[in-house]
């Protein structure tokens, strides 16, 4: 189906290798389909006892969705390809759900860049997921950078992060490393980059039924090497500022704090889409009381509303297509964002019986 997703079986373990290094393994629709096909086949194969997802390159597990594709087909008519955009998000979110509830250990080697859609294919649920990071890990949900919002289940896992740390990551789009990922609960184990070759050999040599436990034993001596978490050190400040009742309140709180960490966060917020920051905050508030399937269904409707509005198309144009780094956000200021604008994003797109993710 695609040359960018390689699959093999070793000792009862299904191994997926993403091999699109020039694009940092950015996900195409064909890649999403290849992943889903492999995982569905292995889910129902009694000879497969665990799954590992990894990259052919130490630079990235996956940098997200193919945003050039989003821009190209998002501006097209259905005849010109926009139907593929609908397919992409429906199938990607269904894949995220499949991974979250996978009935076998799902082991993600989160070496290098793991952002956006990469997080969606790495965040196995508490019943199956085992997530390994290295000192090269660069983790983020940076969708606000391009006028989108944290999707691929991000509404769920960010709204369940400690305190207001998920709000901080979602609104700033900030990148964090291994220690922060562990503190956030978005990673489980640390392995030094220089030992990843040994870990790959362990995967090949260990029976799948024993693999998850063997990896935990292998990684145990390295946990202290992950370093200190800056987010843990800044937890009180983040909880206080990002606990404000609105995005405007968050920015006002940050503006009143001269600490460099607060000022850096404020600088990031000033670059983001005012509308999508407000939509993202509302999404996280709602997601805190929803299960995974309902979070993904909410995100699927939000994606439709976002492309209808066009904010993501402008963001991708400015940052990726024209590279002028000067997006013309609509509205351009936070003061011009009204509650009605935000509420519009959460209006149902389909009747419940017709929702593309109704079967989750």
Alpha helices, DSSP H, located in 44-186? 67-74, 82-100, 117-120, 154-159, 165-172, 178-184
Contacts with 44 (C-beta within 8 Å, 6 or more apart), sequence order: none
- Whether 143 is catalytic is yes
- Whether 151 is catalytic is yes
Q: What are phi and psi of 170, to 5 degrees?
A: -70, -40
| Strand arrangement, sheet containing 60-62 | 60-62, 113-115, 138-140
Q: What are phi and psi of 189, to 5 degrees?
A: -135, 155
d(CA 246, CA 274): 12
- Active-site residue, from 112, 117, 118, 315: 117
CB 181 within 8 A of CB 227: no
> Is the bond into 331 cis (omega within 30 degrees of 0)?
yes
Contacts with 345 (C-beta within 8 Å, 6 or more apart), sequence order: 279, 282, 302, 305, 306, 309
d(CA 94, CA 236): 36
- Active-site residue, from 66, 92, 111, 143: 143
- Active-site residue, from 14, 64, 65, 116: 65
| Nearest C-alpha neighbor of 104 from the set 54, 153, 48 | 48
Catalytic site positions = 65, 117, 143, 151
């Amino acid at each position: 189906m695609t040359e960018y997703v390689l699959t093999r079986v070793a000792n009862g373990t299904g191994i997926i290798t993403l091999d699109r290094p020039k694009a940092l393994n950015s996900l195409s629709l064909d890649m999403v389909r290849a992943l889903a096909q492999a995982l569905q086949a292995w889910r129902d194969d009694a000879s497969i006892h665990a799954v590992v997802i990894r990259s052919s390159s130490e630079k990235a597990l996956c940098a997200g969705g193919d945003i050039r594709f989003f821009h190209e087909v998002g501006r097209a008519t259905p005849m010109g390809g926009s139907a593929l955009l609908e397919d992409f998000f429906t199938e990607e979110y269904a894949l995220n759900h499949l991974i979250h509830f996978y009935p076998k250990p799902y082991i993600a080697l989160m070496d290098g860049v793991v952002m956006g859609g990469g997080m969606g294919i790495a965040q196995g649920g508490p019943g199956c997921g085992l997530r390994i990071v290295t000192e090269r890990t660069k983790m983020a949900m940076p969708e606000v950078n391009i006028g989108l919002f944290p999707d691929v289940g991000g509404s769920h896992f960010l709204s369940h992060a400690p305190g207001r740390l998920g709000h901080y990551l979602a609104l700033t789009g900030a990148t964090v490393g291994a220690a922060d990922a562990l503190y956030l609960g978005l990673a489980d184990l640390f392995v030094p980059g220089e030992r990843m070759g040994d870990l790959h050999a362990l995967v090949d040599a260990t029976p799948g039924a024993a693999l998850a436990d063997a990896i935990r034993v292998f990684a145990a001596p390295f946990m202290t090497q992950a370093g200190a978490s800056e987010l843990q050190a800044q937890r009180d400040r983040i909880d206080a500022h990002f606990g404000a009742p609105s995005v405007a309140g968050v920015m006002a709180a940050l503006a009143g704090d001269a600490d460099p960490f607060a000022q850096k966060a404020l600088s990031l917020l000033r670059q983001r889409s005012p509308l999508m920051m407000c939509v993202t905050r509302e999404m996280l508030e709602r997601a805190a009381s929803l299960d995974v399937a309902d979070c993904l269904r909410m995100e699927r409707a939000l994606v439709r509303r976002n492309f209808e509005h066009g904010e993501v198309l402008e963001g991708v144009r400015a940052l990726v297509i024209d590279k002028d780094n000067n997006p013309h956000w609509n509205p351009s200021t936070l003061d011009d964002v009204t509650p009605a604008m935000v509420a519009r994003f959460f209006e149902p797109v389909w009747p419940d019986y017709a929702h593309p993710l109704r079967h989750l």
